[in-house]
């Protein structure tokens, strides 16, 4: 497959998937019913969720400074904030292109070399991945009995045990293979994992490592809390167990990477997770759309304002040589 074909697939496949999931979602709940849920939602809780989300995004912009300072750069906080929001906006058009936009804006307005700025963003993503994996591990630990009971209720217990043993054995075989093999694929994966480990360990060598770790935990804490408090906006959904919140949050987090900004995939990921806990399907789907729409509106609005304000702000406040 040539490069142009790969680029076409990377650009349009998430968009097509998003359109298909929107169609599927709206086939399960009528537009009139969905709008009725929007009309009767408690927007006090939606507003609190938006505020918590805003705090997480501001913390992300501030955390970026901790990675740039050891490289000799001290970008103005407002530029960092506007670059982050601009990146979020771009992600709604081209998935994962927001990181490139962030680095490009900082290179343009703060004279931070693109490759260095982009490298710090990669380090951020490594830290975020570690925290997300930690959340998954905690959820699995807290909900082990529930997950095991769920599997046993749907499948033969012997098959569940054999399946888990097979998965564990497969993981061990793959780890040994990728650790010892000299094939190109194995070497690439080994190099990728090595880079991730090096990136994580480098955090502990930072001058302000504890501040960086605090902001990383704060960002994800606000994400989870944002998700949790927004569930109170849909009365028909109550009560929602916190375990369901964690599972749905994890599913929704991964869904964002599947389509442009999680369009279509986000609400359906929420529904799938909530149904595991026997929560009503219609309110679950409505909540998924309310959650996605409110956060999207905020990011698109602030991203658009940031894009417009960046040149004006930097024209009036030139960087001192």
**CB contact at 8 A, 230 and 294:** yes
Q: Which domain holds residue 141?
A: 41-314
Tell me, yes or no, whether 163 lies in a domain: yes
Q: What's the total number of domains in the chain?
A: 1
Tell me, yes or no, whether 6 lies in a domain: no
Neighbours of 166 (CB within 10 A): 11
Joined together, the tokens standing for residue 154 give 């749907």
Neighbours of 254 (CB within 10 A): 13
Instruction: Return the pLDDT at 321.
Output: 41
Long-range contact set of residues 177-186: C-beta below 8 Å, sequence gap at least 24: none
Count of residues in the chain: 321
Tell me, yes or no, whether 27 lies in a domain: no
Residues 6+ apart with CB under 8 A from 229: 45, 48, 49, 52
Instruction: Return the pLDDT at 254.
Output: 87
Q: pTM of the entire structure?
A: 0.82
Instruction: Return the pLDDT at 8.
Output: 62
Instruction: Return the pLDDT at 51.
Output: 96
Tell me, yes or no, whether 275 lies in a domain: yes
Tell me, yes or no, whether 10 lies in a domain: no
Instruction: Return the pLDDT at 203.
Output: 67
What is the spatial distance between Cα 224 and Cα 303, in angstroms, rounded to a whole number? 22
Tell me, yes or no, whether 24 lies in a domain: no
Tell me, yes or no, whether 9 lies in a domain: no
Query: What percent helix, strand, coil does the chain show, rounded to 5?
Result: 85, 0, 15
Per-residue pLDDT 10s for the chain (321 aa) are 566 666 666 667 777 887 888 898 888 888 999 999 999 999 999 999 999 999 999 999 999 988 888 778 888 999 999 999 999 998 888 777 888 888 899 888 888 888 888 888 888 888 888 888 888 888 888 777 777 676 666 666 666 677 778 777 887 887 777 777 777 777 777 776 665 566 566 666 677 888 898 999 999 999 999 999 999 999 999 888 888 899 999 999 888 877 888 888 899 999 999 988 889 999 999 999 999 999 999 999 999 999 999 998 888 655 444
Tell me, yes or no, whether 59 lies in a domain: yes
What is the spatial distance between Cα 227 and Cα 240, in angstroms, rounded to a whole number? 11
């Amino acid at each position: 497959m040539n490069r142009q074909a790969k680029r076409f697939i990377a650009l349009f496949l998430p968009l097509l998937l998003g359109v298909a999931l929107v169609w599927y979602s709206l086939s399960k709940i009528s537009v009139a019913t969905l709008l009725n849920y929007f009309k009767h939602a408690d927007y006090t809780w939606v507003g609190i969720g938006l505020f918590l989300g805003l705090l997480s995004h501001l913390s992300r912009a501030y955390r970026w400074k901790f990675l740039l300072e050891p490289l000799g750069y001290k970008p103005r906080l407002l530029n960092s904030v506007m670059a982050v929001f601009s990146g979020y906006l771009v992600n709604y058009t081209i998935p994962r292109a927001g990181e490139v936009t962030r680095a490009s804006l900082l290179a343009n307005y703060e004279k931070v070399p693109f490759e260095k700025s982009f490298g710090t963003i990669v380090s951020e993503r490594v830290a975020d991945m570690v925290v997300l994996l930690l959340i998954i591990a905690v959820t699995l630990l807290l909900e082990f009995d529930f997950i095991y009971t769920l599997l046993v209720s749907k499948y033969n217990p012997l098959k569940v045990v054999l399946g888990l043993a097979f998965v564990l054995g497969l993981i061990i075989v793959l780890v040994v293979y990728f650790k010892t093999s000299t094939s190109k694929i194995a070497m690439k994966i080994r190099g990728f994992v090595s880079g991730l480990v090096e990136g994580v360990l480098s955090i502990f060598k930072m001058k302000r490592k504890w501040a960086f770790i605090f902001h990383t935990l704060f960002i994800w804490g606000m994400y989870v809390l944002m998700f949790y408090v927004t569930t109170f906006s849909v009365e028909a959904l109550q009560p929602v167990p916190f375990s369901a919140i964690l599972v749905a949050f994890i599913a929704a987090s991964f869904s964002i990477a599947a389509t442009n900004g999680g369009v279509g995939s986000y609400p359906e990921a929420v529904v799938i997770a909530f149904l595991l806990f026997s929560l009503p399907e219609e309110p679950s789907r409505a909540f998924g759309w309310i959650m996605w729409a409110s956060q999207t509106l905020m990011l698109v609005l602030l991203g658009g304002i940031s894009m417009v304000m960046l040149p004006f702000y930097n024209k009036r406040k030139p960087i001192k040589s």
